[in-house]
C-alpha cells in the first residue's frame, strides 16, 4: 500500500503541488491499512481511519485525500475500491470576504503614512506594501518574498509561489513609480538581505506577524470594516479578494468577454485551478445578475 502512495505523491509533486501535508496524511493511512492487512484501497478501511480524526473537518479532509488516491489507482487496477465522496458533515461555505471600498483603501494608506515617527522609513514601507497588495492582488507572502531583482520597469516577477510556479505581473505606471520611489529609499537602509520590503530596525525581511499587527491596528484606529457582512474583522488577505472583485466588475458584461477575462485573471492571480477564480463571480453583483439572466434563458420553455 505504501508503495502505491509514494507513486501517487511523487506524481502530484512533479506536477508542481507541494503536497506535504496530504502526503503525510496518506502515509498515515497506508500504515493504518497495512496493519489491517490491506494491499489495496478498501473503502471501509478509509472510513475507519477517517473516523479517528479529532474533528469533522479533519475527518472530511482525510476521506477526501484517500478518495483522490483511489481514483488515481483505480485507473490501472480496479481491485482498489472507490471511496464515497460525502460521509461526514458537509464543509460550511467559506466566510464572506470584506470587499474594501476605494475610500477605505485611501483611509488605510493615509493612516499608514502617519505611522510614527513622522516621515519614518516604516511608514513608507507599509504605504507601499498595502498599496501594492491593493493594486495587484498579490498574496501577502508573495509580496514579502519579493527581491530587488524581481522588479523592473515593466513589472514584477513572482518566483516559486504557492504552487511552485513563477509568473510575471505587469504593473500600472503609477504602481511602478511608487515602487521605484520606495526602492530608492530602501537602498539607503543598512540591511542584510535583498528583499524589497524590510524592517529598518532589524535590516531583515519584514516579518508577516508585524505586517498583520500593523494592518489590524490601522483598521481599528481608522474604523475600517469594523462591522463586516460576515461578522468577522477584515483581513489583509481581503485586499486580494477586493482586487479580483473590482477587476471583474470592470469587465465587459458579455459572456465571451467574461470568459476571456477569467482566464487572464486566473493567470494573473496565480491560481492553479480556475475554480478558485470562478468563486469571485458570486461576489460581484453586476456579473451575478448576468449569470441569473443566462440561467433563466437556459431554463425557459423556449430554450428546451
Is residue 247 a contact partner of residue 284, using CB atoms and an 8 Å limit? no
Torsion region of 128: left, alpha or beta (phi above 0 gives left; psi -120 to 50 gives alpha): alpha
* CA 243/CA 239 separation, integer angstroms: 6
Backbone angles phi, psi at 215, to 5 degrees: -60, -45
Backbone angles phi, psi at 76, to 5 degrees: -115, -20
HSE at residue 258, side-chain half, CA atoms within 13 A, is 17
What's this model's pTM, rounded to 2 decimal places?
0.71
pLDDT digits (tens, 9 = 90+) for 186-204: 988 888 899 999 998 888 9
Boundaries of every domain in the chain: 2-74, 103-222, 251-303
Tens-digit pLDDT profile for the chain (304 aa)?
899 999 999 999 888 777 889 999 999 999 999 999 999 999 999 999 999 988 888 888 899 999 999 999 999 999 999 988 777 666 677 677 788 889 999 999 999 999 988 778 999 999 999 999 999 999 999 999 999 999 998 899 998 766 567 889 899 999 999 999 999 999 888 888 999 999 988 889 999 999 999 999 999 888 886 655 556 678 899 999 888 888 877 776 666 666 677 777 777 787 766 666 666 666 666 666 766 776 676 666 655 5
Grid cell, residue 39, equals 494491499
pLDDT digits (tens, 9 = 90+) for 207-227: 999 999 999 999 988 888 665
User: CATH number of the domain at 103-222, please?
Assistant: 1.10.443.10
pLDDT digits (tens, 9 = 90+) for 118-151: 778 999 999 999 999 999 999 999 999 999 999 9
Amino acid at each position: 500500500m505504501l508503495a502505491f502512495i509514494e507513486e501517487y505523491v511523487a506524481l502530484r509533486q512533479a506536477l508542481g503541488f507541494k503536497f506535504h501535508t496530504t502526503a503525510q496524511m496518506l502515509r498515515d493511512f497506508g500504515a493504518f491499512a497495512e496493519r489491517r492487512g490491506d494491499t489495496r484501497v478498501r473503502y471501509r478501511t478509509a472510513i475507519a481511519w477517517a473516523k479517528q480524526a479529532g474533528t469533522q473537518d479533519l475527518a472530511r479532509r482525510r476521506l477526501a485525500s484517500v478518495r483522490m488516491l483511489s481514483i488515481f489507482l483505480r485507473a490501472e487496477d480496479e481491485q482498489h475500491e472507490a471511496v464515497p465522496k460525502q460521509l461526514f458533515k458537509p464543509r460550511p461555505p467559506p466566510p464572506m470576504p470584506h470587499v474594501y471600498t476605494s475610500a477605505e483603501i485611501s483611509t488605510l494608506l493615509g493612516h499608514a503614512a502617519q505611522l510614527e515617527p513622522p516621515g519614518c522609513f516604516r511608514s513608507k514601507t507599509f504605504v507601499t506594501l498595502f498599496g501594492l497588495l491593493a493594486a495587484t492582488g498579490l498574496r501577502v507572502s508573495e509580496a514579502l518574498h519579493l527581491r530587488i531583482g524581481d522588479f523592473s520597469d515593466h513589472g514584477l516577477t513572482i518566483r516559486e509561489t504557492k504552487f511552485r510556479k513563477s509568473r510575471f505581473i505587469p504593473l500600472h505606471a503609477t504602481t511602478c513609480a511608487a515602487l521605484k520611489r520606495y526602492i530608492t529609499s530602501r537602498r539607503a537602509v543598512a540591511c542584510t538581505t535583498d528583499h524589497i520590503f524590510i524592517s529598518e530596525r532589524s535590516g531583515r525581511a519584514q516579518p508577516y506577524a508585524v505586517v498583520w499587527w500593523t494592518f489590524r491596528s490601522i483598521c481599528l484606529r481608522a474604523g475600517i470594516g469594523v462591522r463586516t457582512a460576515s461578522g468577522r474583522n477584515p483581513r489583509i488577505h481581503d485586499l486580494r479578494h477586493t482586487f479580483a472583485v473590482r477587476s471583474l466588475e470592470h469587465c465587459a458584461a458579455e459572456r465571451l468577454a467574461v470568459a476571456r477575462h477569467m482566464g487572464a485573471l486566473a493567470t494573473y492571480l496565480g491560481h492553479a485551478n480556475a475554480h478558485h477564480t470562478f468563486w469571485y463571480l458570486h461576489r460581484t453583483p453586476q456579473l451575478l445578475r448576468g449569470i441569473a439572466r443566462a440561467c433563466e434563458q437556459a431554463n425557459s420553455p423556449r430554450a428546451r
